[in-house]
A = this chain, B = another copy of it.
């Protein structure tokens, strides 16, 4: 397997020009509420481990991709709060997976959490509060 091919069961998550595409894109599992990606040099901080901002990005993207598919939304929900716990380092070359659990999909807000793992090792946990986007949606670029 080349460094950029998805792991089995994942497919490329379609992106528009912007932050996720600029940082290498992600893969979405075809069935499970999970995204995956490879950590490359462009994701590292000066200590040569994955930057906390990129890991927060993965958590936020996992929430959006999973919620959008699971609830058939036209766009990802709006993030109101994202809280990220950094538990262990993630390194260049690691294949990481982020699994989402939805705790409440209510009338006024959505609550979900996720775990980012490298194999069986838990590296990051995140918690999010979201609302459904009700504004206009830009035409696809």
Copies in the complex: 4
Question: A56 at the A/B interface (Cβ < 8 Å)?
Answer: yes
As a 0/1 sequence over residues 93 to 126 of chain A, the CB contacts with chain B under 8 angstroms (1 = contact) are: 0000000000110101101010000000010010
Are the CB atoms of A19 and B51 closer together than 8 Å? yes
Chain B residue numbers with a CB within 8 Å of A103 are 85, 87, 122, 125
As a 0/1 sequence over residues 12 to 56 of chain A, the CB contacts with chain B under 8 angstroms (1 = contact) are: 000111111011000000000000000001111111101111101
Alpha-carbon distance between A56 and B82 when the two chains are bound, in angstroms = 9
List the 10 shortest-distance A-B pairs measured between CB atoms, nearest first.
Answer: A53-B57, A19-B51, A83-B83, A56-B56, A22-B42, A18-B44, A52-B79, A87-B104, A52-B60, A53-B60
